[in-house]
Structure 1
Amino acid sequence: MAAYQVKDKSFATIDEYFDYMAETFGYTAYHRSFTSDTVDSDGLKLHLDIYEHDKNAPTIVLIPGTALYSLCYVEIMYKLGVHGFNFVGFDPRGHGRSEGTRGDYTIEEIMADAQNVITYAIDRFNPKVSLMGSSQGGIVAFYLAAIEERIQSVICQNFADLTDTDTMNLSRYPNLTKFIKPLLLGFGNGLFSDAQLPISMYLDLEKIKIKRFGNAKNFMDQDPLVLKSVSIKALRSLTKTPIPKNPSEISTPVMVFQGTDDTIFPVEYTQSIYDKLTCKKHFEIFENMNHALITDNVEEIVPPIVEWLKEIYPES
């Protein structure tokens, strides 16, 4: 019996699906360079994808974006890894191959998941650990920069302060988001907190262009592991979770990057938060790239990230 169904195709294992996608679209099967493991987080087993360069090399822990899972970022993990870094990508609770109710989480819970993966990375490799996050994962990495003393830097594709009124514009329908925020605050912890809403209600997936698939909607419709919806509790968390410290008080080095054509995070918004940082920092802006640059423009974005990591780990 097939474990994974993709339209008219059946796959016994998820690796067969990844092999099929690589063959169909003509790219390297990077996932074959990774091993799998699990780590416990609040009693849930989280799936890990591990690229091992060297036991003594620095390790990057990767936090996926909304609805996604670690191997969505397999190309950039591999192409950064060969420059001298271990990678531990993880599927947050309720995502990908991890345990937990699908799509039911809070930002605080994903932060806890990331901290447990940091512990795993230190135990398996060494204390040289940085975080890398994309979109929602970038926000989580940024928040952890404020409180997690074990990391040497964070690399964020986008970040945000989720309690900032400007974040109301970071959605498909800003006016609708302003309208439903009181409802989320009212019901997010109550009877309806487990109810789920389609991701397409608050993100314009068709506007996010992705090579090979056309747009994010097409990709998400056919992929067997991505989330199609999230709980009201999760949405409430995305509107009320405060950053643990004022950005000006963060001491962990922060790199942020994004494209000028990002339809979710305007450059001006990112710049407004970046300007508050007093720590070692770097903002890399990529012309004519959109929200999918971390998967679509890997060759262009790897060099400045490597340069940043070499500054953080000059001995590597």
Structure 2
Amino acid sequence: MTKATPTGDTMLSSIDGLLLDAEIQQPSLAERRGTVIYAHGITADKDEFGFAATVADQLLRAGFSTLRFSFRGHGRSEGTQRGVTIAGELLDLQAAVNYAVAKLDGPLSVVASSFGAVSTLLSLPWLDERLHRLVLLRPVLDLRRTFVEPETPWGIEHYSPGRRTLLDQQGFLLINGTFELGRTMFEEIKHYDPVAPFLASTVPTLIVQGDRDSIVSYEVARQTADRRVGCRLHTVTGADHGFDDHQEEAVEAVVSWLRMPFPLTWEGHAAIDPQ
């Protein structure tokens, strides 16, 4: 049984000086297999409604150190909800990576959930060679099809033309009844393309996606996985965005992928060995 060293809350300093709430869990020194950073989705925090904490606990049992942090404007981190931007989240993720490389044991992997995939994928031009593995949980891959020209029920409800008129008038939109999405981030969404750097990346990647996701498109995930060598899609049959009653399956897929030895092989793909 894995024995943990003391778990602790800490504060990371983002590149522009904002303090980010974070939590680190580490197994005993002799059992450490590597470090995993968890990047949560929008409206959530480092615990992601309990799901991220469950992932961290299972990774701890498997011998991984974990670093979970709340992006600016989320949870107990500094910053305001309306001030959250993609550019700011890029700085926050960079700060988390810098901390993990300096303070925790490698190799380094990232688990990026929902909107957390945006900053993660956009960081791949400098991050790719530092990563051992990548996991994308119900990821936002196509910003236009999720927010600008939404295809899912959630997107249509929150980003209809009428709602965008409200955004113009008041400067923010209330998302899920709890999070104030500001005008600046919505403008950024029109210009960023997370898929382009992902397709150019070589880090072995697992996408875990429910086929009944009402927030991000399952078809986008399937199409992206098909286009990208070194990417496996794990379909959670019958699951919505939160994985609902299928959380155990989703967590097990994450842990199994991060523990899988190299080289990686599966039907339709060549062996992958980044060493």
Matching residue within 245, 249, 261 for 1:300? 249
8 Å CA contact 2:72–2:78 kept in 1: the answer is yes
**Do the aligned residues in 2 keep the contact of 1:36 with 1:47 (CA within 8 Å)?**
yes
Question: Mapping of 1:45-194 within 5 angstroms?
Answer: 45-55=19-29, 56-72=32-48, 73-148=52-127, 149-162=129-142, 164-165=144-145, 168-170=149-151, 172=154, 174=156, 177=159, 179=161
Distance 2:43 2:158 in 1: 21
The answer to whether structure 1 residue 259 and structure 2 residue 239 are counterparts is no
Measured after TM superposition, the shift of residue 75 of structure 1 is: 1.6
Matched to 1:127, the amino acid is G
- Residue 286 of structure 1 corresponds to which residue in structure 2? 236
Q: Give CA deviations for 1:21-78 in whole Å, capped at 9, x if unaligned.
A: xxxxxxxxxxxx8410011111111110111114443111011111110123212211
Contact 1:259 1:286 in 2 (8 A): yes
Partner Cα distance (2:143, 2:207) in 1? 19
Q: Which residue of 1 aligns with 2:18?
A: 44
Unaligned stretches of 5+ in structure 1? Answer: 1-32, 201-216, 218-226
Residues 145, 153 of structure 1: 8 Å contact kept = no
Q: Measure, in 2, the Cα distance between the counterparts of 1:146 and 1:275.
A: 21
CA change 1:154–1:108 in 2 (3 A) is farther
Letter in 2 for 1:174: I
Higher strand share: 2
8 A Cα contact 1:153 1:253, kept in partner: yes
Task: Report the CA distance between 1:132 and its aligned residue.
Answer: 0.7
Cα deviation 1:201-241 (Å, max 9, x = unaligned): xxxxxxxxxxxxxxxx6xxxxxxxxx432211122223332
Q: Deviations over 1:265-293 (max 9, x none)?
A: 23212111112212x22110011111112
Aligned length: 249
Give secondary structure in 1 for the equivalent of 2:90.
helix
Residues of 2 paired with 1:180 and 1:150: CA distance?
43
- Summarize deviations over 1:142-170 as a string: whole Å, max 9, x none: 33334313222211112344454576225
Once the two structures are overlaid, the 10-residue window that deviates more, 239-248 or 100-109, is 239-248
What is the TM-score normalised by the length of structure 1?
0.69
User: Structure 1 pair 248/197, CA: closer, same or farther in 2 (3 Å)?
Assistant: closer
Q: 1:163 to 1:290 in 2, by over 3 A?
A: closer
Matched letter for residue 231 of structure 1: G
Q: Judging changes above 3 Å, is the alpha-carbon distance between structure 1 residues 36 and 247 closer, same or farther for their aligned structure 2 residues?
A: closer
Q: RMSD across aligned C-alpha pairs, in angstroms?
A: 3.0
For 2:132, give the aligned amino acid: Q
Decide whether the 8 Å contact of 1:160 with 1:273 is kept in 2. no
For the structure 1 residues 103 and 77, does the alpha-carbon distance in structure 2 shift closer, same or farther, using more than 3 Å as the test?
farther
Unaligned 5+ runs, structure 2: 1-5, 264-275
TM-score (norm 2): 0.78
Does the 8 A contact of 1:50 with 1:87 survive in 2? yes
CA distance, structure 2, for counterparts of residue 176 and residue 300 of structure 1: 29
Instruction: Tell me, yes or no, if the aligned pair for 2:38 and 2:67 is still in contact at 8 Å.
Output: yes
